[in-house]
Chain A
Amino acid sequence: MSVGMHLVVSGFSLGSFYALVALGFALIFGVTHAFNLAHGELIILSGYLAYFLWRGLEVHPLATLPLTVALMPVFALALAQLLKLVREPFPMNSLVVTFGVALVVEQALLSAFSADYRLIQPAAPALMQVPALGLALTETQVTLLVLSLLATGIVHLWLTRTFSGKALRATIQNREAARLVGINLGRMRTSAFAVGGLLIGLAGPLYGQTLYLYPAGGLEATLIAVTLTIFAGVGRIPTLLLGGWLLGLAESWAALALGANWRELVSALLLVLLLILRPEGLKIRTEG
């Protein structure tokens, strides 16, 4: 495989990983304005569930996804119930509350699973060759690419093709206008947390398969999610994947051309540049 092809594969798979980690956060933040600092801890919790299914019951890592996807909305909805008690200013108070939740979850994970680093490791990581394209992809890279495309596509279709999705999108775009046309904001909030939970359930096992799990690892995941949400813009699901790919490609290029120590600097510069050129940043898109 050529150097250029290596760079492209590495960049796209890293970007797909970033997008999968950020999807749930971006959706919940877009609808509810809740700055969920416990997002990463929920991803790690989901990863631990998958890890013990894989280790204990020898379930294939990909086969753990249905269970984590089914279970994590329960935790996300519990968080939604807790955030219902938060008073104004909601964005700031939600930040404090979810920070507290993150600490509690981290301590619980430390007590339950110890401080050891855990890897979800397929029995035989295969290398998939596509000779016609001169491609060689690892199993993890293929999984990340396929699942990020699938998740983004399904969420995008739901937001653009279904009544409930359109209502949710309207809420992201303008909450007041959505309320005036009869959209139940409470129900939208619940939907956002439920779907956000599904996406967290999807991201957790892949996090354990791509990186490694440890109780304090949630901060890393939350930082990825916040950065990418700023990068891509709130409520723009396809842009989130594009943003992830752009970041992944930029980081991989920096690591190859300039050296590994440049990767964070290059992505930070890119982020600053985009915020200057696209000043709306975290501001919710209000146009129709």
Chain B
Amino acid sequence: MRQGGRHGWLLGLAAVLLLAGAGSGKAAVQELALGEINPLTGALAKHGLEIHQGIALAVEEVNARGGLAGRRVKLLSRDDQSRPEIALNQAQDLITRERVVGLVGGYVDTLVGPISEMAAKHQVPYVASASLQAALTRKRHNPYFFRISNLEGILSPVCRLVGEVLRPQQVALIYMATPGSLEFAEGVEERLTRQGIRIPVKEKFRPGAPDFSMALLKVRMTGCEVLISGGFYPDNLLLTRQLREQRLQLQALLAPWGAAYPSFIAELGELSEGVLGTCAWTPGVTWPGTEKDSQAFITAFEARFQQSPTTTAMHGYASARVLLTALERALARSPAPTGEQVVKELRTLDLTLPLGRVRFDAHGDPLDYHHVVVQIQGGRLVPVYPPERAQARVMVPLPAGRK
């Protein structure tokens, strides 16, 4: 009797466990786990949170229209705290424990690089939202890594604007000790030198440097007409303020990363006037033919987050849209697609988003990533280059500070 009772108890437990297992199995079949890793805290949190918002919106849109092949997408967001070792741990956890079908997100190459390595090791597709370093795609064979941005899309309009419109004799170059910024500086130097423009000032800083005054003194001493900054958003805030405080007379200040944000204008006020930046998208600047989609994105974003989207948020949204589309197509062919099958879909993908047309080359780099040069004119971001997308002429010289 006692033995029979014990058996009954064990059978009951087994039944409960089986049911629970079956339940979770059912949930696993219904839900697709998508992993996202971004710097949500730490030094890069501003941009990491923006990318996260874009990704979250793309996933919510997919779920609102019934998911992918009838399966709901579950977004697993992880914070890498702006630290590469944490990014690596989060990628490992998402891949091995959560069994995600793909990874998305990432800001700066020092964080994207480790995630891309982990994704390759476990054959999980990874679409990075903001990555530039050529070495990540060109120097290593990583068939599982894709990104929606590349350096060429920024270098080309910057160097063409300088060579064709600004036409200085001398340019000063300030850049950061990060992989993307270093490659940017090398690219600018090579292209401008080829055009006969001298670069007498080339200064490397660590991100977050507190003082640019000595570099600005060199710019003044050498008489450079144009200053190009490869610094990040906060570096450019500080650089612009110090430049204006010191009354440095320049034809132009060109800061590809940082100036094309409404918050840059809000923080610097009139000191931001005339600063040139670049972006692939911002409200009012969209890929031709996508005006309606762009406005729909802005409306949905503002309704969801009670703030306007930035170019970084659009990068998050676009990267998620790309991966979700590839997943959907892979699911149409197989109910449980492998990483390799999703990668195959990514390779043949051809989407047109407000960010631009998205197609990848054999290395996982975008074929059609193009930045527009914008200038802060009258407190607004105005596209000024290339001519086919310009809404105004470039305003030179940089307005002088007050006395």
Contacts and interface: CB of A to CB of B under 8 A. Distances in A.
B18 to A, nearest CB: 42
Contacts of A114: 46, 49
Nearest to B42: A216
A259 B204 contact: yes
A17 interface: yes
A139 B402 CA distance: 12
Interface in B43-62: 43, 45-46, 48-49
A93 interface: no
Interface in A102-140: 106-107, 110, 114-119, 121, 123-127, 138-140
Interface string B170-193: 000010010000000000000000
Given A117-B46, A125-B245, A215-B45, A14 B210 contact: yes
A136 to B, nearest CB: 8
Interface string A121-164: 10111110000000000111000000000000000000000000
A263 B241 CA distance: 21
B403 A127 contact: yes
Interface string B237-275: 110011011110000000000000001000111010000
Contact of A125 (B212, B218, B237, B401): B401
Contacts of A126: 402-403
Contacts, number: 110
- Size class of the contact patch on chain A: 35 or more
A117 B46 CA distance: 8
B41 A110 contact: yes
Contacts of A256: 214, 217-218
Contacts of A212: 234, 237-238, 267
A284 to B, nearest CB: 29
A115 B49 contact: yes
Contact of A261 (B205, B221, B242): B205
A256 B211 CA distance: 12
A115 B46 contact: yes
A78 interface: no
A125 B401 CA distance: 8
Interface in A1-51: 3, 6-7, 10, 14, 17
Given A127-B247, A212-B237, A216-B45, A6 B217 contact: yes
B206 interface: yes
Nearest to A123: B269
Given A14-B211, A106-B41, A121 B403 contact: no
Contacts of B209: 260, 263
A110 B81 CA distance: 13
A252 interface: yes
B211 A252 contact: yes
Contacts of B45: 110, 115, 214-216
B41 A117 contact: no
Contacts of B218: 256
Interface in A243-266: 251-252, 255-256, 259-261, 263-264
| Residue in A14, A115, A125 with the greatest tally of chain B CB atoms within 10 Å | A115
B271 A121 contact: yes
A7 B41 contact: no
Nearest to B208: A220
Nearest to A262: B204
Contact of B41 (A107, A125, A255): A107
A216 B234 CA distance: 13
B215 interface: yes
A211 interface: yes
A29 B48 CA distance: 35
Contact of B46 (A125, A210, A214, A252): A214
B267 A118 contact: yes
A2 to B, nearest CB: 11
B233 interface: yes
A125 B203 contact: no
Contacts of B233: 117
A205 to B, nearest CB: 15
A105 to B, nearest CB: 12
Contacts of A251: 211
Contacts of A255: 203, 211, 214-215
| Residue in B43, B48, B177, B244 with the greatest tally of chain A CB atoms within 10 Å | B43
Contacts of B401: 125, 127
Contacts of B237: 117, 119, 212
Contact of B268 (A17, A119, A217, A252): A119
A117 B245 contact: no
Contacts of A138: 242, 245-246
B267 A121 contact: yes
B84 to A, nearest CB: 16
Nearest to A51: B267
Contacts of A252: 211, 213-214
Nearest to B203: A260
Contacts of B48: 115
B221 to A, nearest CB: 7
Nearest to B401: A125
22 contacts: A10-B214, A14-B211, A114-B46, A115-B41, A116-B46, A116-B263, A117-B233, A119-B267, A125-B241, A125-B244, A126-B402, A127-B246, A138-B242, A140-B245, A214-B234, A215-B41, A216-B41, A216-B45, A259-B203, A260-B204, A261-B205, A263-B209
Interface of B: 41-43, 45-46, 48-49, 82, 174, 177, 203-206, 208-215, 217-218, 221, 233-234, 237-238, 241-242, 244-247, 263, 267-269, 271, 401-403
Given A138-B245, A210-B210, A217-B43, 8 more contacts: A115-B46, A119-B237, A121-B241, A121-B268, A127-B403, A216-B41, A216-B42, A255-B214
- Please list the 3 inter-chain residue pairs (A to B) with the smallest Cβ-Cβ separation, ordered nearest first: A115-B45, A255-B214, A138-B245
Interface of A: 3, 6-7, 10, 14, 17, 106-107, 110, 114-119, 121, 123-127, 138-140, 210-212, 214-217, 220, 251-252, 255-256, 259-261, 263-264
